[in-house]
Amino acid sequence: GEVSVLDMASAYSTFVREGQAIEPIMITKVEQVVDGEVRVLSTNTAEPEQAISESTAAQVAWTLRQNVLRGTGTGASISVPAAGKTGTT
């Protein structure tokens, strides 16, 4: 099977959320406005799940940050905290 960009972003976001994985949601709320009154028609939420330990997530996040700060990903360094995966493995 193939892995989509959304799948990869979702997986890597687990590291910065201290090990909590959460299913991506494209639409979180549908509202209808009639005569200036807002009515919520539908909401969609996802509950996070502890997928890996906080310490493991912190170690992986630190390693990914080092790729941008000191590794082969230094060209992607920007003025805000960033992390990156280099290579194909």
* Position 81 in a domain: no
**CB-based burial label for 57 (10 Å; 0-12, 13-18, 19+):** buried
What does each of the 89 residues of the chain score in pLDDT, given as a tens digit? Answer: 899 999 999 999 999 999 999 999 888 899 999 999 999 999 998 899 999 999 999 999 999 999 888 888 888 878 888 888 887 65
Is residue 76 included in any domain, yes or no?
Answer: no
Residue 85 domain-assigned?
Answer: no
What's residue 79's pLDDT? 83
Give pLDDT, residue 89.
59
How much is the pTM?
Answer: 0.69
Number of structural domains the chain divides into: 1
Regarding beta strands 37-43 and 29-34, do their DSSP bridges make them parallel or antiparallel, or are they unpaired? Answer: antiparallel
The residue segments making up the domain with residue 19 are 5-71
Provide the pLDDT for residue 54. 97
pLDDT of residue 88: 67
Is 88 domain-assigned? no
Specify if 89 maps to a domain: no
**Euclidean distance between CA atoms 89 and 87, whole angstroms:** 6
Residue 16 lies in a domain: yes
